[in-house]
């Protein structure tokens, strides 16, 4: 089984490379943006013609949430046009597309965890371009898995956890927003789930019943302040974390105030047991 992974230098791409040796049943090809710019249809066509992958996991994305407010065309190129191109070449090559999306497609006004059928209402350019990418895939063909996730962190790439660890080296105190609620997602856990999806679909490749939209994060919920405090605790840091409201930390892009995702569908469909965010964080090795 041949699996092409885009965005190989990103956080999730690196996490997939980390778990790949545990899955000898899969021949992985990891391509970064220089080897495969998903916004370039000619490059996509050439790579797919060469590799003929059974599956493509798209982890490539423009994730600079605040910069996207002014770099709209760049965000749209990667987050919207890129998934469309991949959907087109996947359809032509009978490849199953596994695409990673985001909680930013929602407005954050919910009071209970978002299910897959909740109506999207993105409040940022990043969220708008990611939602458009989802729709581009859905309008092109049916053989896809779209997995929305949130608050991704790991020992790889740039993320909230690594920012806290870096700041702890220079500061005694740190203020963190306490009125935005969500669930941290360990990129390693997400990577393993994406591979599980592929392996389950590969058992019966003609079964179309599994295709569709899913949500995945670790279990539980917390604020960014809670998350920061747990990072400090787990890593035994001498850093005092103080809570502040979102109004004290304005950003160009609006963040969802509530973005907890309901995982019932993915747990039931793929028979998953998901770690709590606290348990998964405690096992993260830096």
157: which 2 tokens? 């790439």
d(CA 194, CA 243): 34
Establish whether 126 is a catalytic residue. Answer: yes
Identify the residue whose tokens are 């997602």: 185
d(CA 216, CA 221): 13
Numbers of helices and strands, H then E, in the chain: 10, 12
DSSP per-residue letters across 252-285: SSPPPSB-PBP-HHHHHHHT----BHHHHHHT--
Do residues 126 and 149 lie in contact, with contact meaning Cβ atoms separated by under 8 Å?
Answer: no
Catalytic residue among 31, 62, 114, 126: 126
Active site residues: 126
């Amino acid at each position: 089984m041949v699996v092409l992974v885009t965005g190989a230098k990103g956080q999730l791409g690196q996490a997939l490379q980390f778990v790949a040796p545990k899955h000898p049943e899969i021949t992985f090809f990891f391509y970064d943006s220089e080897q495969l710019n998903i916004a370039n249809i000619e490059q996509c066509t050439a790579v797919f013609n060469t590799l003929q992958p059974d599956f493509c996991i798209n982890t490539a994305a423009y994730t600079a949430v605040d910069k996207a407010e002014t770099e709209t065309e760049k965000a749209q190129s990667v987050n919207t046009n890129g998934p469309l191109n991949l959907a087109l070449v996947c359809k032509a090559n009978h490849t199953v597309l596994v695409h990673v999306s985001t909680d930013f497609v929602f407005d954050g006004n919910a009071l209970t965890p978002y299910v897959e059928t909740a109506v999207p209402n993105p409040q940022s350019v990043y969220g708008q371009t990611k939602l458009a990418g989802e729709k581009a895939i859905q309008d092109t063909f049916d053989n896809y898995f779209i997995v929305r996730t949130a608050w991704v962190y790991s020992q790889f790439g740039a993320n909230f956890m690594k920012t806290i660890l870096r700041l702890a080296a220079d500061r005694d105190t740190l203020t963190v927003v306490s009125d935005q609620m969500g669930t941290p997602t360990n990129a390693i856990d997400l990577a393993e789930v994406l591979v599980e999806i592929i392996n389950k679909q590969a058992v019966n490749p003609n079964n179309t019943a599994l295709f569709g939209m899913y949500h995945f994060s670790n279990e539980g919920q917390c604020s960014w302040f809670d998350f920061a405090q747990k990072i400090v605790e787990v890593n035994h840091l001498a850093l005092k974390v103080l809570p502040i409201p979102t109004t004290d930390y304005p950003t160009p892009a609006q963040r969802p105030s509530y973005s907890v995702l309901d995982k019932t569908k993915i747990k039931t469909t793929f028979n998953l047991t998901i770690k709590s965010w606290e348990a998964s964080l405690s096992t993260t090795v830096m």
